[in-house]
Amino acid sequence: MKYSQNPKFPDGFLWGASSAAWQVEGGTDAGGRTPAIIDLNSQTKKPYADNSVASDHYHHYKEDVALMKECGFTSYRFSLSWSRIIPAADRKVNPKGIEFYNNLINELVAAGITPIVTLYHYDMPVWVDEKYGGWYDRGIIDEFDYYCRVCFEHFGDRVKYWLSINEQNMQIIYGDWLGVSKGSKNWFEEKWQVNHIMNMCHAKAVVACHEMVEDGKIGPVPGYVPIYPETCKPEDQIGALNAEELTQKIWNDFYYYREYSTFVQSYWKENKIDPKILPGDMEFMKEAKIDFIAVNCYRSDVGKWPDPTFKQEIGLNKSGIKGDFTYPNFPGEYALARNPFVEVTDWDWHIDPVCMRYSLRYMWNLYHLPMVITEAGYGAHEDVDENGEIHDPERIEYLREYAYNVGLAIQDGVEVFGFNPWSFTDLLSTGNGMAKRYGLVFVNRTDDDLRDLRRIKKESFYWYSRLIKSNGTDWGKEMK
Ligand code: BG6
């Protein structure tokens, strides 16, 4: 196969970056917002970091949007905080919450930046949790529907790209980490009930968006980690397929086909799991036809047939924190392993730009739906140097190679309409606070010291700006 040196990005391609309310906003008790469960986690659960200030985007949004404009952004993906918009169980809409998001959206639109808005990104309001036990009770379905409708009513005139629930698959797989399982001892079975309720919520959002937003488009946001078989041993192919099904394909198939796959149905039967589907649910879900898929893709994994004698290896991670990272091994299902052909980040995430092209090709072959990249990014320890600057060549290399592989996927015939890596400014990582920075723009604070929260453009900001302004032709070096 022979390619031109530069893959061509379509005109109007959406170049931007991504964030989530609880990780960037701060202002957790400002403007009538009430607490979310993730606030409580961030204040009590280590290594989460307190999100009450985060990057203080709540007070710096104008400056942040001005920087996006300077960089040349044509899109920005962010999430809405449910408890900022509806702070209590009385369902009263908070005018100050609406005002904040109206201001942000207006600022973006005035800067020529297309908003891409996630309805839910891990920040369950405490009042919803108290009333319904989080995602455990079907009562949340109507509550979520109501919340989505409020969002569509207030912002749907300017926001045309909507995302339903961020990384539902990861919330189910890492239920404890992301606060969904509530420490349940019976999560193995309950997760499928919770997942069904989340699917109903996703479907409500899709149906309401199409009903209420003129020309509105909506899609899910799977956390996509493609799985490569470790060897060509036949059993490893099945292990890798199982890993793919149980970590992502079950979800993606559901979003696309709006029915549960035969794989998951037989998995439930085999494991005597009742997901508690009620009459009428499946008929309703059939109406929820998605318009695109938003893809979060940072890395790949290696799958294999599990080894019954396997012992967890401890202390594998590059940053040397013992016991921080272990590969799962599920007897009879699958195991994951380190890929010796790629580098890893300080947190042992595989750095694999080719996985971007691979994922887009793979998903396109399965679903033939347009896709937008809503996350990919390089998390690193960083601080200003003696000249007050931040040089982040590893991030530049990561973003260059990942974006280039998006271009190659487009050249392969895949429909992709945007690239929005994680993140614009530094923000709190889910589990590592400011210690794990992702931004193109440095936020001058650490986990323990709020300093002055100043924004400082990193070297990657300037590099990305040139790439955007050339619509993906100025890579800053020769690409092969
Ligand atoms: C994505 C999430 O899965 O990964 C983000 O949508 C998260 O919320 C990002 O921040 C990076 O993960 P982490 O743990 O490094 O923050």
User: Domain residue spans in the chain?
Assistant: 14-223+242-298+351-469
14-223+242-298+351-469 folds as TIM Barrel (3.20.20)
* C-alpha of residue 429 to centroid of ligand 1, in Å: 6
- In order, the DSSP letters of 359-391 are HHHHHHHHH---EEEEE----B-----TTS---
Query: How many Å apart are CA 446 and CA 435, to the nearest integer?
Result: 7
Protein residue whose Cα sits closest to atom 11 of ligand 1: 429
Spot the catalytic one: 190, 375, 382, 397. Answer: 375
* C-alpha of residue 231 to centroid of ligand 1, in Å: 29
pLDDT (0 to 100) of residue 385: 95
* C-alpha of residue 243 to centroid of ligand 1, in Å: 20
Ligand 1 and 224: CB distance under 6 A: no
Of 469, 467, 472, 371, nearest to 413 by C-alpha is 371
- In order, the DSSP letters of 174-209 are TTTTTTSSTT-TTHHHHHHHHHHHHHHHHHHHHHHH
Ligand 1 and 422: CB distance under 6 A: yes
Ligand 1 and 429: CB distance under 6 A: yes
Ligand 1 and 166: CB distance under 6 A: yes
pLDDT (0 to 100) of residue 316: 46
Spot the catalytic one: 167, 190, 244, 382. Answer: 167
Q: State which of 381, 430, 434 you would mutate to test the pocket of ligand 1, scoring each by most atoms of that ligand within 8 A of its C-beta.
A: 430
Ligand 1 and 430: CB distance under 6 A: yes
Q: How far is CA 296 from CA 248, 301, 384, in A?
A: 12, 14, 28
Q: State which of 170, 177, 429, 436 you would mutate to test the pocket of ligand 1, scoring each by most atoms of that ligand within 8 A of its C-beta.
A: 429
pTM of the full structure: 0.95
The CA-to-CA distance between both ends of the chain, in Å, stands at 13
Query: How many Å apart are CA 442 and CA 419, to the nearest integer?
Result: 20
Q: Which atom of ligand 1 is nearest to the CA of 427?
A: 10
How far from chain centre, in Å, is Cα 417? 17
3-state secondary structure of 441: strand
Of 382, 433, 375, nearest to 402 by C-alpha is 375
Ligand 1 and 171: CB distance under 6 A: no
* C-alpha of residue 285 to centroid of ligand 1, in Å: 28
pLDDT (0 to 100) of residue 479: 81
Residue with tokens 């690239």: 419
| Residue 245 bears catalytic tag | no
* C-alpha of residue 410 to centroid of ligand 1, in Å: 25
Find all residues with CB under 8 Å of 15, minimum gap 6, and list them: 72, 73, 74, 75, 418, 419, 420, 467, 468, 471, 472
pLDDT (0 to 100) of residue 32: 97
Partners of residue 16 on adjacent β-strands:
75
- Stated length of the chain: 480
Query: How many Å apart are CA 141 and CA 424, to the nearest integer?
Result: 32
* C-alpha of residue 399 to centroid of ligand 1, in Å: 16
pLDDT (0 to 100) of residue 313: 54
Q: Is the peptide bond before 220 cis (omega within 30 degrees of 0)?
A: no
Ligand 1 and 379: CB distance under 6 A: yes
| Residue 167 bears catalytic tag | yes
Q: Which atom of ligand 1 is nearest to the CA of 422?
A: 9
Q: Provide φ and ψ at 351, rounded to 5°.
A: -95, 110
Full pLDDT tens readout for the chain, 480 residues: 555 567 899 999 999 999 999 999 999 999 999 999 999 888 887 777 889 999 999 999 999 999 999 999 999 999 999 999 999 999 999 999 999 999 999 999 999 999 999 999 999 999 999 999 999 999 999 999 999 999 999 999 999 999 999 999 999 998 887 889 888 889 999 999 999 999 999 999 999 999 999 999 999 999 999 999 999 999 999 999 999 999 999 999 999 999 999 999 999 999 999 999 999 999 999 999 999 999 999 999 999 999 877 665 544 444 444 445 677 888 899 999 889 899 988 888 899 999 999 999 999 999 999 999 999 999 999 999 999 999 999 999 999 999 999 999 999 999 999 999 999 999 999 888 999 999 999 999 999 999 999 999 999 999 999 999 999 999 998 887
Protein residue whose Cα sits closest to atom 15 of ligand 1: 429
Q: State which of 121, 297, 422 you would mutate to test the pocket of ligand 1, scoring each by most atoms of that ligand within 8 A of its C-beta.
A: 422
Of 479, 360, 352, 354, nearest to 416 by C-alpha is 360
Phi-psi sector, 239: left (phi>0), alpha (psi -120 to 50), beta: alpha
pLDDT (0 to 100) of residue 346: 85
Residue with tokens 């040089």: 391
* C-alpha of residue 262 to centroid of ligand 1, in Å: 30
pLDDT (0 to 100) of residue 312: 54
